[in-house]
């Protein structure tokens, strides 16, 4: 039976659904050896158990897995390895560019932004409106009816 609280074992082991038992065991052992915590190691062992010892459960996981799923993207890994270092040297760039001056800014636009921020209307204060209501219900006043509220 599929466990709802854990991910698909094929996803955990990053294997396709047509992987053989030998592939599952080898990949699971490799991941167990590389696991950083006992929790990860237990998850890998659980995934191996689900796929090897329980054929009905494996079939269920195969049916619920997206066909031709690839968990490893070799193009992306190549890109990240190739572009791992930052191509821009920030210290050298900072030496080449002078600090900003007043001429670099559009001063009328900066003033308008500041004025817009200062002149922004604050949000409504409902508590003050309710506390200072002109109508004070009291003991002598008749109770409100629905038509009084709707039609005023």
Q: Write the pLDDT tens digit of every residue in 132-142.
A: 766 665 666 66
pLDDT digits (tens, 9 = 90+) for 79-114: 887 777 777 788 888 888 888 888 889 999 999 999
* pTM metric for this prediction: 0.46
Burial class (CB in 10 A: 0-12, 13-18, 19+), 13: buried
Question: May I ask the CATH architecture of the domain 1-118?
Answer: Orthogonal Bundle (1.10)
In whole angstroms, give the CA distance from residue 6 to residue 68. 21
> What are the sequence ranges of the domains in the chain?
1-118
Residue written as token pair 């791992």: 84
């Amino acid at each position: 039976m599929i466990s709802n609280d854990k991910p698909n074992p094929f996803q955990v082991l990053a294997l396709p659904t047509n992987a053989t038992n030998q592939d599952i065991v080898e990949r699971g052992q490799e991941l167990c050896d590389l696991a950083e915590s006992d929790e990860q190691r237990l998850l890998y062992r659980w995934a191996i158990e689900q796929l090897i010892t329980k054929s009905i459960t494996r079939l269920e996981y195969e049916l619920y897995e997206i066909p031709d799923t690839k968990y490893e993207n070799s193009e992306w890994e190549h890109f990240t390895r190739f572009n791992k270092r930052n191509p821009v040297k920030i210290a050298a760039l900072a030496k080449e560019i002078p600090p900003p001056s007043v001429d670099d800014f559009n001063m009328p636009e900066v003033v308008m932004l500041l004025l817009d921020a200062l002149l922004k209307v604050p949000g409504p204060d409902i508590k003050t409106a309710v506390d200072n209501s002109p109508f004070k219900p009291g003991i002598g006043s008749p109770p409100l009816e629905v038509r009084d509220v709707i039609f005023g």
